[in-house]
Amino acid sequence: TFSFSQDVGTSFTADDVVVSLGSKGAFTRLSETRYTLLVTPPPGAVGSITVSLAATDYLNTYGTSGAANASVSQAFDAAPPTLAISSSVGAGAAAIGDLTLSFSFSEDVGTSFTADDVSVVFSAGTGQLMAFTRVSGSVWTLLIKPPAGASGRISVQVAAGAFSDLAGNANRAAANLTQDYDLVPPTLTLGSSAAGGVATGPFLLSFNFSEDVGTSFTSDDVLVSFSAGTGGSKGSLTRVSATQATMLITPPAGVKGQVSIGIAVGAFADLAGNANVSSYFGIQQYNTTGGP
């Protein structure tokens, strides 16, 4: 708004106004001494606009120029806030328990962001949204409990226009995050090359897992005891594939008995870190006497 002390007639026009940033719009004469000019800041920017008018650019009706230059500065914020979503689970890893999502904004968004602005979809099972916490004006966290006994992916989205900065600029782009989860413990099936019969010598014990257990399963996890005789042994563990391993069991010589094989709870874990929650036990009869 330009307010003059006297009538400046038609000496003052929009061309007389110097705007440091942005663009000039509608110029309106309200009266002999008052004018307005619409100024639009640069889109997507933050800063200060200086509007100035030289004393020689306006005259009263007697032809006398202004007494002094005039100027005003106006701060502006036309930059929309942005959002980055991150997970407490390491990059490329699957969650095996509760996880925390962090919402980090480029600037203070006041109270415009709420839990209702967050869309969370579980691809399998039903998870839970727990505590939603405002850490600061630019950081929020959301605690998530993935579905028990399920594996899948969490898809998180905050839509465009969901929040705004303190100047009223709304976010223009949606923010997204995907997070895998795996709360399915691995299982094991024991097998024997002498299954259904009596071993008359060394036999091959097989371990068949429901999923890859990496290097978590070793020969030390296999507990072997012989009911009769001495000198029985277990061989080294051989990895056949990502989900299968074998071990050679040699019963004591010259006796009849049974081999007891045990695998304890927590003996192995899948690649996500889920440990087995069940123990496993097997028995194989043996007769190394050479007779019936």
What would the pLDDT profile of 158-167 be if each residue is shown by its tens digit? 999 999 999 9
Q: What is the mean pLDDT of the chain?
A: 96
> What integer is the mean pLDDT of 184-193?
97
List beta partners, residue 269: 275
Residue 53 is predicted with a pLDDT of 96
Strands 17-19 and 46-53: antiparallel
What would the pLDDT profile of 214-256 be if each residue is shown by its tens digit? 999 999 999 999 999 999 999 999 999 999 999 999 999 999 9
Residue 90 is predicted with a pLDDT of 83
* 292, pLDDT greater than 90: no
Residue 261 near residue 278, CB atoms below 8 Å: no
Banded pLDDT at 291 (limits 50, 70, 90): confident
DSSP character for 274?
Answer: P
What would the pLDDT profile of 57-100 be if each residue is shown by its tens digit? 999 999 999 999 999 999 999 999 999 999 999 888 999 999 99
Residue 53 near residue 65, CB atoms below 8 Å: no
In 34-174, the DSSP E strands lie at 34-40, 46-53, 70-77, 83-87, 99-105, 118-122, 128-136, 139-145, 151-158
* 279, pLDDT greater than 90: yes
What would the pLDDT profile of 16-68 be if each residue is shown by its tens digit? 999 999 999 999 999 999 999 999 999 889 999 999 999 999 999 999 999 99
> What integer is the mean pLDDT of 251-274?
96
Residue 193 is predicted with a pLDDT of 96
Q: Which of 185, 232, 231, 191 is nearest to 211 (CA)?
A: 185
